[in-house]
Structure 1
Amino acid sequence: MYSKQHAFPFLAVCITFLLFASCNRNDANQNALARVGKNYLYLEDVAPLITEGMSKTDSVSFVTSYINNWASDQLLLSKSKINLPEDRLKTFDALVEEYRTDLYTRAYKEALIAQGADSLISTAQLEAFYEKEKENFKLKERIARLRFIELPQNFLNKDEVSSRLRRFKKDDVKWLDSIGVQFKKLNFNDSIWVRSSRIFEEIPPITFENQDRYLKKSQFFELEDSLGVYLVKIEEVKQLNDVAPFSFITPTIKQVLLSRRKINYLRKLETEIIDEAIKDKEFEVFTDEK
């Protein structure tokens, strides 16, 4: 079924095509727009593709083009079945059936998982897994907790902004927030671990080559380039090959645990499905007994 918003422009297009086609058609497929052999293209196949903004002229042009493309595909398919070698056709048919099976079963498995698999993972479970596997969570790059502000060049109140960002007491945070609209960029959440590669993107004067100079615990510095002035306070740094902090690696742990839970749930379902089919005599394996 197509929506009401498509109905009127599409109806006019359909009437145009059906009146034209009816002169040369004596079959029961009254809603058909075209036929190739025993295959028909119907109104309801094309209706969802007509958008609300199309004029009647554009719609007619679109439908005409769609019919021609559909006919071309159908004719080529028919020719391929006649002219391709039988062994290739069997191979293609097997691939199509395999894809069809995979498409249906994958969708059904996802629906079963969404319906029945538990997606809640407690902090205790995350922490237990982290403690057990922490040696497998070595960092592949440096990470840091930091706060920073990017100011426009020649910003008049730079010294006070710098002083308050460094001190960062409650009153300082409130004051900085109040004028934050004047900053080009800011990050005050220094409890979040940030990858060095992301730092290079946000603060271009810090690069892979000079990171040893700047990415140090408790360091405060000011950098400048053609884009602006960067005020940066580093709270903490973890080095390459250090064990990743729990808060940094938690999303990864959660995905690992959810993935394992889904796999185990599917294995259990598959076992139950086979057992039920055997019990109901819907499935059996034939063996040669000699």
Structure 2
Amino acid sequence: MKKKKFIAPLKSKVLLVFSSLLFLASCDLFSIKSEEEDPDNPLVASVGTANLYLADIDHISKEMATTLDSAELVNRYIQSWIKKQLVIREASKNLTLNEAEINRKLLDYRYALIAYEYEKNFVEQSLDREVTPAEIQAYYETNKENFALKEIIVRTNFIKLEKSLPQKRQLERLLAGNQDDQKEELKEFAIRYANNYFIEDSTWIKFDDIIINTPLSQNNNHVQLLRNEKLISVDDETYSYYFKILEYRLRDQVPPLEFVRDEISKIIVNKRRVEIAEKLKRDIYNNALENNEFTIYE
């Protein structure tokens, strides 16, 4: 017979058929009743011939911080166990189970799980999570169109204060200014008088997030509002709300790098994760090929 080099690829199998899950559950979650019971491991619940013992749930109470939390979690576990056993019993009445097929699937699942755990541990140990500003900038320049905005974002100063305060004119003067000393004065004003404020003017934020719980949330034409007004002020019965719009980006526009910096960093790290996993599989295959560690017969 001719020989061919072959190796089964490492592949995580996510889904098992329902019968396999039933078999797993029945193996792992109960013990068959015996005539003699261990006094140090009393019976907690039973469904037919399926038993749940104290040893099966003892780890739950040890992991919980308080007695109340422990008791509640144990009770939930017992109820969940009972429901699973009832489903297993009902299924066994209505399904013709092929034990050989179930065992084959369980074996496949076990091998896939071993491969998955090894790959995951190897990747996590090898992964470099440090992403340089240069890498982020390069990715942004190459892929900026992929970050088109789904909502309006702004850089803004926001102040909410009681409508009756006499310092409103002082606030308007500060919001109209651009000098560094006025920025510091604005911060001091906000700390002293404002009921709520956002004066991180170097930070981009979703416009909907900053206007929530203000009268502006009822305005349906945000685009026109932003284009026509740099200083927006609105009142309700109790408060005055001031928005100094420093810069904005509309839907479908490309956001500034600062707004997507964290997202890009995560993308780059995830790409590294995928590349390490793929290289691991290639290396395993190539090493086995070089050392004649597998054959396939025709």
Fold match, TM over 0.5?
A: yes
Shift of 1:197: 2.8
- The answer (yes or no) to whether the contact 1:137–1:244 under 8 Å persists in 2 is yes
Match of 1:177 among 182, 187, 201: 187
The yes-or-no answer on 1:214 pairing with 2:225 is: yes
RMSD: 3.9
The yes-or-no answer on 1:286 pairing with 2:296 is: yes
Match of 1:234 among 245, 254, 257: 245
Match of 2:67 among 29, 46, 53: 53
Shift of 1:124: 1.0
TM-score computed with the length of structure 1 as normaliser: 0.70
Identity of matched residues, %: 24
Shift of 1:287: 3.5
- Give CA deviations for 1:164-204 in whole Å, capped at 9, x if unaligned: 23225444333343341531221111112222332442644
Aligned ranges 1:87-166 → 2 under 5 Å: 105-166=115-176
What is aligned with 2:201?
190
Q: 256-265 or 74-83: which moved more?
A: 74-83
The amino acid across from 1:147 in the alignment is: N
TM-score computed with the length of structure 2 as normaliser: 0.68
Gaps of at least 5 residues in structure 1 are 1-23
Where 1:121 maps in the other structure, the secondary structure is coil
| Greater length-normalized contact order (CA 8 Å, ≥ 6 residues apart) | 2
Shift of 1:69: 6.7
Distance 1:125 1:77 in 2: 53
Shift of 1:221: 2.5
Q: 123-132 or 135-144: which moved more?
A: 135-144
Q: 1:100 to 1:197 in 2, by over 3 A?
A: farther
Shift of 1:268: 0.4
The yes-or-no answer on 1:31 pairing with 2:8 is: no
Shift of 1:112: 2.3
Q: 101-110 or 133-142: which moved more?
A: 101-110
The amino acid across from 2:154 in the alignment is: A
Match of 1:256 among 258, 261, 267: 267
Distance 1:287 1:49 in 2: 50
The amino acid across from 2:57 in the alignment is: V
Shift of 1:101: 5.6
Aligned ranges 1:261-280 → 2 under 5 Å: 261-278=272-289
Where 1:86 maps in the other structure, the secondary structure is coil
- The answer (yes or no) to whether the contact 1:224–1:230 under 8 Å persists in 2 is yes
- The answer (yes or no) to whether the contact 2:60–2:73 under 8 Å persists in 1 is no
What is aligned with 1:85?
96
Where 1:216 maps in the other structure, the secondary structure is helix
Aligned length: 259
Q: 1:102 to 1:225 in 2, by over 3 A?
A: farther
Gaps of at least 5 residues in structure 2 are 1-33
- Give CA deviations for 1:120-147 in whole Å, capped at 9, x if unaligned: 1111111112222233333333322111
The amino acid across from 1:262 in the alignment is: R
Distance 2:105 2:193 in 1: 60
Q: 1:78 to 1:285 in 2, by over 3 A?
A: farther
Q: 1:177 to 1:244 in 2, by over 3 A?
A: closer
The amino acid across from 2:40 in the alignment is: N
